Structure 1
Amino acid sequence: MKNQTMVTEFIRVGLSRDPQMQIFLFLVFLVIYLITLGGNIVIMLVIRTDSHLHTPMYFFLFHLSFVDIYYSSVTVPNMLMNLLAEHKTISVNGCITQMFFILLSAGADVFILSAMAYDRYAAICDQLRYMERMSKGICFLLVSGTWTTGFFYALLNTVFTLKLHFCGYNQIHHFSCELPPLLPLSCTETFTNQVVLLTSFAIFGSSPFLFTLMSYIHIISTILRIRSVEGRRKAFSTCSSHLIVVGLLYLTAFFQYTKPSSVSSVVLDEIFSIQYSILTPMLNPIVYSLKNKEVKTAVGKMLGKIKFLK
């Protein structure tokens, strides 16, 4: 390592080297980002202004929309600048800082989804004690815990990344500074980092997934015991949106962080990253708007008020 030049900045190669394709991708992801911002802001405004939506379920949906805006804003604006920049460089410290906020966003995302799963479990499986289980204090505690656990997940991996030395090759074949594509650039041993990443993923990633899975096993079991078809349909409709959102996030993120190196591919890695960090935050408000009658009604009321004011 003594004979190698220490790297002070990385070059992010991600997505395409073709200038015309970069302009096209810039326009595509700019539209996606604007839809993400617009859709999630509308959801937050509707929940804030409509008193009928001041319930635990929509309290968590409000915070999910905030996390989606935060998650998308950590990666997309920087990626857009990089697509148009002549020199596609980022400092090592800047890259690690972005990595920290990506991990924080991802951690907060999975834990807010598990809190939403617990809310649906309480609403369907323990209706008589629902308000006791989901009091305002407990809801605020769950949201606070979401950001706290996300912070420790990000901090743990960032501290060990700061101990690495980077020298020689400095091209990141990715559009953002995620940890998996960053580790191969280190000229020091990364075994500890890989162990920390997998262990922290098992604790902070798999635990909310297993909690969500167990919640839905109980929810489905309870729904199947409902005698009327209409009753089963209504019960399932209250959690179908959340189930779709959970599937969109976990299927891609889980494969991205647990797949063996033998199936690793730059293109595949980028596709999965785009799915869970860019497309999912855009799709979440669309899913909740299309699948949830209360949200559709509230959005209609808000649009009606806007037209009336005009």
Structure 2
Amino acid sequence: MNDIARLIAEAALGRDPGPLDRAKSLSHRVFVGADVVVKLIHTDRHSRLRREIALAPLLPAGITAPLLASGQHEDLRYAIYTRVPGTAPGLHLPDTDATTARKLAEQAVARLERLHNWQPESTEILTEELDHGGFTGREPFLAEIERLEQADRDKIVPARIVKGLKEIADRAPARAAAAVPVHADCHWANWLADGDTVTALLDFEWARLAEPFEDWFFLIRFSGPHMAAVLDIVTEQTGLPADELRAACEVRDANYGATDVRLTLEGDPDAGTGTLAGLEEIVNGYWWSSSRA
């Protein structure tokens, strides 16, 4: 596949992109060169790369990597981006010290606020229907919990977890507003940083109109040992009350987790990373534990 990616890039760019190395990606085949990044997916898979390609030239300048070329080659859809300096800090910030984590989080919040304040001329792409598994309102979340119970034919989900999920859903708002543009997948594996400087936010395939909480959840939840510090930074820079932020993140964490576990039980290959252990952590008060410390 490296040879195909290189062939596509050479034809699209009119020059040899040089060697391309395969990079980790859950939803696409991604190849990284000295100055370009090539993303590929078979056209019979999901259409999210098409959405990302359509959004790329519309986004506020400087938020993501510039799109150089896109199109279709045989049964592959492709997008070619400028390679931006830096590397991904990674899920849960595994190799990031506290000082660097704070600096990165401050910049990430500022960049996300620029996205949330963006007023696109058209919201057609951002309002396309997506089966994202996230929180849209109390009743849909309760319905998801019911689907989880139905999928659990072997009764591996403890009753206390189902009860805890329902309690979280009962406290949730009736609906989530389609308020502003959000990235909706801005965990730390989708950022690039050069030292302690954020250089890009990548992978806009899940971008849509939603509440800003959608992004604050991803940023905080996947900050590992720096979770409490990142939560404080979000409250400081946005002015949101901490308890309101915690509650909004908790319901999103629970909704995504319940969906992922349900899809896993159904044998869906596109199930996300949510686990039974993660659900137990949520219902045991993950989002409130640091506030009691």
Tell me which interval the TM-score lies in, with the shorter structure as reference length.
under 0.3
Q: Which has the larger radius of gyration?
A: 1
TM-score (norm 2): 0.24
